[in-house]
Amino acid sequence: MKLPQELNQAAEEYRNWIGNYLPIGREIIYLSQDDVKSIPLAPEKIRDLVEQSLIAYSAKKVDMPSKIALHPLTDTFFHAMPAYVPELFAAGIKWGSCFPENRRQFGFPQAQGLIIYNDQLSGMPLAVMDCKYITEIRTAAVTYTAIKYLAPQDAETFGMIGCGVEGRQHIKNIVTVLPNLRTIYVYDIFEAAADSLIADLGPGIGASIVKAASYEELVKNSQVIASATIAKEGYDPVIKDAWIGPGKTILLCEGHTLYEDRIFKRADKYIVDSREQVEQFVSYGYYPFGHPAIHAETGEVAAGKATGRENAGDLIVGNNFGMAVEDMFVVRAVFDYAVEHGVGIKLPL
Ligand SMILES: NC(=O)c1ccc[n+]([C@@H]2O[C@H](COP(=O)([O-])OP(=O)(O)OC[C@H]3O[C@@H](n4cnc5c(N)ncnc54)[C@H](O)[C@@H]3O)[C@@H](O)[C@H]2O)c1
21 vs 342: CA distance, rounded Å = 8
| 53 neighbors 328 (Cβ within 8 angstroms) | yes
* Per CATH, domain 136-322 is 3.40.50.720: yes
Query: 151 alpha carbon to ligand 1 midpoint, in Å?
Result: 22
Question: Is there an atom of ligand 1 within 6 Å of 86 CB?
Answer: no
- Supply the pLDDT for residue 236: 87
Query: 109 alpha carbon to ligand 1 midpoint, in Å?
Result: 10
Query: 106 alpha carbon to ligand 1 midpoint, in Å?
Result: 16
pLDDT in tens, the chain (349 residues): 898 999 999 999 999 999 999 999 999 999 999 999 999 999 999 999 999 999 999 999 999 999 999 999 999 999 999 999 999 999 999 999 999 999 999 999 999 999 999 999 999 999 999 999 999 999 999 999 999 999 999 999 999 999 999 999 999 999 999 999 999 999 999 999 999 999 999 998 999 999 999 999 999 999 999 999 999 888 889 999 999 999 999 999 999 999 999 999 999 999 999 999 999 988 888 888 889 999 999 999 999 999 999 999 999 999 999 999 999 999 999 999 999 999 999 999 9
pTM for the model: 0.97
Question: Is there an atom of ligand 1 within 6 Å of 55 CB?
Answer: no
- Supply the pLDDT for residue 89: 97
User: 225: Cβ–Cβ under 8 A, 6 or more apart, which residues?
Assistant: 158, 159, 160, 161, 218, 219, 248, 249, 250, 251
Architecture of domain 5-135+325-348: 2-Layer Sandwich (3.30)
Domain boundaries, the chain: 5-135+325-348, 136-322
Same fold, 5-135+325-348 and 136-322: no
7: left (phi over 0), alpha (psi -120 to 50) or beta: alpha
Query: 227 alpha carbon to ligand 1 midpoint, in Å?
Result: 7
- Supply the pLDDT for residue 288: 86
45 vs 51: CA distance, rounded Å = 10
Helix axes 132-150, 165-172, angle to 10 degrees: 50
